[in-house]
Structure 1
Amino acid sequence: MPLYHFHLRTPDGLERDETGLVLRDLDAAYLEACATIPGLSVDLLREGRDPMACTFVITGAPDPDRILLEVPFDERVRHIGRPTTPASPAAATALTRAQRLIVELRAEHAALGRNLRDLQALLAKPPTASPPTG
């Protein structure tokens, strides 16, 4: 499966994605970008940056510098929700899988939050005296 990079073009320039994601095809890469845009838009707004001026520039195999697709944030931010119906069965399958993974990630995030709060509560308790040995 090919490796896709999701570079972020902002008014300040191009923020390169050095890690990338291994995905089945370009349809899956498009869906990944669409799924990421709403959350990243919130982060950009918190930083005082305009997400409507941003674009994902997707590059990938065989030439990691070749632009395969550009996904403007304003295309997705105006229509936050699901990406439009995929053109291929593979894209529909990827969309279903992505939606399932998002649900699973949210559940894991919630569980991690509970575990962190439990750990913080344990660490906040004063240590108990150990019984003398000997």
Structure 2
Amino acid sequence: MAKAEDGVPGLQKALTIIKSVDAEKTHPFRQGEAIIEINKRLLERFDLKTRATCLVARKVNKPTFNPNCFQSLVYKFKWKNANNKFYHFLSTANTHLYSEAAVEHVIESITTKPDFLGKSKKDYGKKAKQ
């Protein structure tokens, strides 16, 4: 363990270099793109009955995942509280970005927990009324 009294040689031993990575590579999806990807993967992986059970929104009488669904989960997961593996705010472009992990986390959460999305949307609706 390096100590302050070891001077520069001690600090060199303790120095950790973190490589800067482009946020658009680690978090490639904007909200609209994430929603499209979520819907695509749900369609590929799950039958209509399963999608109808876990999705509460409908488009032309078919279950769908829409912007309100997405925002309710962003709120539920508290992703916008800080940059993390699911969410990154790119301040220079005033853009909210989401990762591959975020897309998968959404899919897993809504398909494995009964009424997860429905409850999340209700909680999000209550927040909006406050």
1 or 2, which has the higher strand percentage?
Answer: 1
State the structure with bigger RCO (CA 8 A, min sep 6), 1 or 2.
2
- What TM-score results when the alignment is normalised by the length of structure 2? 0.23
Query: What TM-score does the superposition give when structure 1 sets the normalisation length?
Result: 0.22
Q: Between Structure 1 and Structure 2, whose CA radius of gyration is higher?
A: 1
The structure in which a higher percent of residues are helix is 2
